[in-house]
Amino acid sequence: MTEFKQHAQNLIAKKDFIALEKFLSQPPDGCEQLAAELTLYSLVEQGRSFEQLEAPFDQYLDKYLDSMPVSNLEMAAQLKFRLKKFEDAVKYSGMVLDKKDDIEIAEIAAISLFNLEKNKMGSKLVDQLIATKPADTRYYEWYILFNFKLAEYQKVIEGWEILNQRAFELTQTNSVLVFVVRSFIYRGQLSKALEILDQYQLESQRDDIEVGLMLAEVNKASENYEEAEKILRNLVVRYPDLPEARWNLSLILLSQAKLKEGWDFYESRWSWSQFPSTPRSFDCPKWDGFSDLDGRRLLIWGEQGIGDQLRFLTLLPNLLDKYPSHLITLECDAKIVTLVKMWFPELEVQAFGLNDTRGTQQYSQFDAHYPSGSLPRIFLPQISDKCNLKFRRLKVSQEKKDELLGSFMSSKKMLVGISWRSMLMMKTRVDDYFDVTAFAQMIDEAPIDIGFVSLQYDISERERRILSRFTNVFIPDRDFLNDVHENAFYAGSVDVLFSVGTVVATCAGIFGVPVVSWSRFDDPVNLGQAANPWFPNRLDFKTKPNWDKTTLLTRLSRVLNSYYEKACARECKKSDLRA
């Protein structure tokens, strides 16, 4: 083997690659792996590109992965990284790191994980790099990037503060600054965000995509919607193929009640990769929303979350008023099919089918399709039209209320539904919620003849235990997470609902129950209105990032007392009439 290797190395030194190829093609027994490695080495010496090296390197990896030296695993990781084959780069980097500590390979793995959006793994790896080389400020940049992607905004701020305690020069300036500014905004520290804008003169870079989108957010947080709109319009013109700018512009326009143009830009959602609904494919064309259906069968299909689907369907009566119901089929999440069938009994309602329906018999009956999120484009082009809209309300019969609440209902002057959070406990949303202990405080201070009904879906054992100590709290033994129909009927059975803006609040709205809620001040769902534009009898308190939950709880308690006083007054009036 030594003579074989020496002869090959001599040919490489002489750059006699033709003779080398012939020599390596017939290696002696036991030298096959060595011959493959020498072949790769000769290709490198010949100056072959990374693209040219990949195929022979892959052949080598396929045969000798379990027996190859660590140095060749390092080469594999570097090669795949240079070729932006990040999955492979992570694979081979991991195999190297299992065998030895290697800072360069760990860095390759971290950058590859970021590109793959495997942020939890990447964050852990960066933590290890910081522990190994705490003086390397690059790692704190990566710390910021990964933690922003994980919505760990406080950690982003902490990473930025560490950088500012040292002499540092950013290697990924715009990305880091954009994430830091946004983190300060999301944590309610607008003044800190503005300081960074001024320090790094970011206003002068508004033509940059990342910076421009961030500047629009800063202006929105400052309630300067016109400037945010101006910035986004500039990006739309400069980058017409950038759906995120068009999507963000739609939200800014809707937040200003500029509905016609806002709904037009809202159509860009299907081009934006981060939109929460998957685009669907049909053989039939998409209806334009305006041309006469002229006897054609139309499929209206829901999009986004359950609450969004129900909210958009509040506009459906206006479509049914214009076209016969037998022409329209409605498709929605399986969890709300029963509820929607009760709401629109004249329609055929079915659960979601395939995303790609092309060539399927089930969908061949339709002449056109239309996503429900586009209904406002037809029926809500301006806020003044709201009073002309047709709204269909469901009602819970007294018999159904008795079935659901029994004697608990009869012993109370007023029933109050409560729901304090969504099931989505993401960092981006958890700050919008109350903890159950907040409502426990409200219940503790309320008159005993107010009955509270827990409408919280996915209720935890801790939450159930806290509420169970109150004799005036009713916790239905139902799986509200999966039985939205029952959740809606309970919501329709109370006198008033106090809830964050989730599907529970939407269900109560469908039944005409007054809702007291809270939402972000810049939530485009409110369409720039002080009152919720989708449902009558809904009061929304506006919150800012990092809002004072104690103050809001006090305001909610005052509203509760107001409802209670009215309930007492009605009770007295009934007593007088009976007397």
d(CA 84, CA 89): 8
Residues 449 and 321 in one domain: no
Residues 509 and 416 in one domain: yes
> Is 380's pLDDT higher than 60?
yes
The last residue of a domain, from among 356, 388, 420: 388
Round the average pLDDT of the chain to a whole number and report it.
91
223-255: buried (b, 16+ CB within 10 Å) or exposed (e) per residue? eebeebbebbbbbbeeeeebbbbbbbbbbbbbb
> Is 22's pLDDT higher than 70?
yes
Kindly state the average pLDDT of the residues 77-94.
94
- So what's the pLDDT on residue 426? 55
**What's the CATH number where 515 sits?**
3.40.50.2000
> Is 388's pLDDT higher than 90?
no
The pLDDT tens digits for 512-545 are: 999 999 988 888 999 998 888 898 889 999 988 8
Percentages (nearest 5) of helix, strand, coil residues in the chain: 60, 10, 35
- So what's the pLDDT on residue 494? 97
Give residue 303's pLDDT band: very low, low, confident or very high (50, 70, 90). Answer: very high
For 453, how many CA atoms within 13 A lie in the half-sphere containing its CB?
Answer: 29
Residues 380 and 402 in one domain: no
- So what's the pLDDT on residue 252? 97
Whether 230 is covered by a domain: the verdict is no
Domain that holds residue 463: 398-578
Residues 378 and 509 in one domain: no
- So what's the pLDDT on residue 13? 84
The last residue of a domain, from among 338, 368, 388: 388
Residues 365 and 408 in one domain: no
- So what's the pLDDT on residue 429? 66
- So what's the pLDDT on residue 574? 65
Alpha helices in 492-542 (DSSP H): 503-510
Structurally, the chain folds into a number of domains equal to 2
- So what's the pLDDT on residue 382? 87
> Is 157's pLDDT higher than 60?
yes
Residues 376 and 403 in one domain: no
Residues 382 and 433 in one domain: no
Residues 438 and 560 in one domain: yes
> Is 386's pLDDT higher than 70?
no
The last residue of a domain, from among 333, 359, 388: 388
The pLDDT tens digits for 165-195 are: 988 888 888 999 999 999 999 998 999 999 9
Residues 505 and 569 in one domain: yes
Task: Name the pTM for this structure.
Answer: 0.87
Whether 384 is covered by a domain: the verdict is yes
Give residue 150's pLDDT band: very low, low, confident or very high (50, 70, 90). Answer: very high
> Is 287's pLDDT higher than 60?
yes
Residues 353 and 315 in one domain: yes
Tokens, residue 327:
């022409």
**Any idea which residue has 């003779």 for tokens?**
19
The pLDDT tens digits for 215-252 are: 999 999 999 999 999 999 999 999 999 999 999 999 99
Distance of alpha carbon 337 from the chain centroid: 24
Whether 116 is covered by a domain: the verdict is no
* 524 touches 251 (CB < 8 A): yes
480 CB neighbour count, 10 Å cutoff: 24
Residues 550 and 427 in one domain: yes
Question: Which of the two residues, 207 and 385, has the higher pLDDT score?
Answer: 207
Per cent of the chain over pLDDT 70 is: 97
Residues 565 and 465 in one domain: yes
